[in-house]
Structure 1
Amino acid sequence: MEIFILAFFALGYLVLAGADIGVGMLLPYLGRSSAERREVIAAIAPFFLGNEVWLVATGGVLAGLFPELEGELLSGNYSLFVVLLVSWVVRDMGLWLRGRLPGARWQHWCDGAVVAGSWGLALSWGMLLGHVLTGIDGPLALLPALVVAALFATHGLAFATLRLRGEPHRRASVLSGLSGGAGEARTYALTATALATVGVLAGLRLPLAAGTSGALLTPVILALIPLLVAAQAWVWWTFRHRVTGPSYL
């Protein structure tokens, strides 16, 4: 049961947060003007904080139920996790501060932080997943990382076609080869499945030996999972329509 709990949160993060990471990676392509970039950011604004909860939950499950695996991942990839956390902070800083001060230069700096942080997150996760899957170290480790990052970007495009309108929607649709509403939902499901598959394959190569605290923590986590799923479903239902203007960010 502990393995399924870890998989639930880790795969949930990859699929849900993978979309806003991918949108951030392609912000300059999707939004050519400041107004368009605000609409692109508005597409992920209601979701990105809730998506990050899945990563926090994954870390908590690792620490509580799989302490040996947590120690192995952290000790063997310390610098990579530092880059990941810095990218996380930079990306969120750009999102939160973009609309707090006037001026095109400030907005350009914040947009750059969103793009750089998003690419940092995608490549960091790509390096980690690629290392687990292939065991490749050194400069060649960048190759699987780029493949995973491209998958994040594709997933972000699929999400963007569901949320955007006008020219940003057209750009996302052209690059992802989409042509209509049914195709957009189908493509999002395909990219989500691809990301989840990468996560499953990486998980199968990890030493998933649970610790001794499962008897206490597992019932508590199982009781909280329906609340998390219900909150996520409510957010998606509330913001199911396409973006019609800039958000609070």
Structure 2
Amino acid sequence: MDLTTFWFIVIAVLWIGYLVLEGFDFGVGMLMALLARDDKERRVLLNTIGPVWDGNEVWLIVAGGATFAAFPEWYATLFSGFYVPLLLILVALIVRIIGIEFRSKRPESWWRLRCDIVIGFGSVVPALVWGVALANIVRGVPIDADQEYVGGLLDLFNPYGVLGGLVTLTVFLVHGAFFIGLKTTGPIRERAIAMGLRVGVLAAFLTTVFVGWTALRDDTMQVWAVGVGVLVAFVLGLAAATARRDGWAFAGTAVAIGLLVVMLFAALFPDVMVSSLDPAWSLTTDNASSTPYTLKIMSWVAVVFTPIVLIYQSWSYWVFRRRIGVQHIPG
């Protein structure tokens, strides 16, 4: 395996980590207005992600940094062509952070309501727009011979891109619901599982259409195989939730999200951005990569520091593994 292929796989793994972990963060944020009956229950939901949400966002920073260092041409074309959607995601993430961090700073109900609104906004927008962006990278966008994006914002909101956004939105909602079921007790847990199962039916339908559409476009055995794996994992997660096996339900949606990213990157390879104007103008792992020396230095850094980060984050999840309920929230 050459270093360009290795770093393509590394970036895919970073996106898997980000979307699996931040996916349930977004799900919890979206469900605050739907599940909680009072302020204590909303505080319970926030406390389920309180120790981990900021660590989950680090995966996005590392994925962006790795893309910039390993494939600078990919980074330049992606961030210039998708400037408005990425800016919208950035603004949503910023106001979401403000809502989470400052919600407890004042006791007034109007203050907390406004924070809850921005938390919901900051969760819905990335959950939707990330799907639109990833789907368009695979579908292809207008890139000219100079490897520059020459389309407009509306070009990204095509049927395939919108379907990709709806898939990530609904799947993250189910993923978050099953995470709440895993981390809480009492009525909140029961409402979360019931909500996850209801939305799961819609999510399963949308995911089936998206997987079939992607596999038919690419028409390779590996994309078909991974796509079937996505659907099997998601259905098994719903079945586990029905049986009140919270850990297996959450694992099912996590594996489904991870395999969905694998399917998209498998359909993309060896390209990193497809030109819808002329396939010869597409960015590939070869023409978009850094020098071999840069990739070699990055590889050694990744080998040394990645295990440390994984061990630390796993330890954080282990420390905060217990379930919580309203009885644990002080007045």
TM-score (norm 1): 0.93
Deviation of 1:139 after TM superposition, in Å, equals: 5.4
In 1, Cα distance between equivalents of 2:185 and 2:261: 31
Segments of 4+ in structure 1 off by > 3 A?
133-141, 207-210
2:241 is aligned with 1:164 = no
Per-residue Cα deviation, 1:126-146 (whole angstroms, up to 9, x for no partner): 211222244473353333211
| 8 A Cα contact 1:133 1:201, kept in partner | no
2:157 is aligned with 1:138 = yes
Aligned-residue CA RMSD (Å) = 1.7
Per-residue Cα deviation, 1:84-141 (whole angstroms, up to 9, x for no partner): 1001001111100100112000000000010011001101112112222444733533
In 1, Cα distance between equivalents of 2:191 and 2:38: 13
Greater length-normalized contact order (CA 8 Å, ≥ 6 residues apart): 1
* Alignment-derived partner of residue 290 in structure 2: 211
Q: Secondary structure of the equivalent of 1:98?
A: helix
2:187 is aligned with 1:187 = no
Change in 2 beyond 3 A, CA 1:215/1:117: same
| 8 A Cα contact 2:132 2:156, kept in partner | no
State the AA in 1 paired with 2:184.
Answer: L
Greater shift, 128-137 or 43-52, is seen at: 128-137
Q: What percentage of aligned pairs have identical amino acids?
A: 32
Q: How does 1:1-249 map to 2 (within 5 A)?
A: 1-135=6-140, 137-138=156-157, 140=159, 141-177=161-197, 178-179=241-242, 183-204=245-266, 205=268, 206=272, 207-209=284-286, 210-212=289-291, 213-244=294-325, 245-246=328-329
Deviation of 1:180 after TM superposition, in Å, equals: 5.3
Greater shift, 89-98 or 183-192, is seen at: 183-192
| 8 A Cα contact 2:93 2:123, kept in partner | yes
Deviation of 1:208 after TM superposition, in Å, equals: 3.4
Per-residue Cα deviation, 1:9-60 (whole angstroms, up to 9, x for no partner): 1111111111111111111112121110000000010110110111111111
In 1, Cα distance between equivalents of 2:65 and 2:329: 34
In 2, Cα distance between equivalents of 1:151 and 1:107: 27
In 2, Cα distance between equivalents of 1:23 and 1:134: 30
| 8 A Cα contact 2:41 2:188, kept in partner | yes
In 2, Cα distance between equivalents of 1:35 and 1:122: 25
Per-residue Cα deviation, 1:63-91 (whole angstroms, up to 9, x for no partner): 11111111121122110100010010011
Deviation of 1:7 after TM superposition, in Å, equals: 2.0
| 8 A Cα contact 2:92 2:125, kept in partner | yes
Greater shift, 184-193 or 198-207, is seen at: 198-207
Q: Secondary structure of the equivalent of 2:106?
A: coil
Structure 1 unaligned runs (5+)?
A: none
State the AA in 2 paired with 1:156.
Answer: G
Task: From the CA coordinates, give the structure whose radius of gyration is larger.
Answer: 2
Change in 2 beyond 3 A, CA 1:79/1:201: same
State the AA in 2 paired with 1:137.
Answer: L
State the AA in 2 paired with 1:193.
Answer: V
Change in 2 beyond 3 A, CA 1:137/1:59: closer
Residues paired across the two proteins, number: 246
TM-score (norm 2): 0.71
In 2, Cα distance between equivalents of 1:100 and 1:176: 31
Per-residue Cα deviation, 1:179-214 (whole angstroms, up to 9, x for no partner): 555x21111111111211221222231333432110
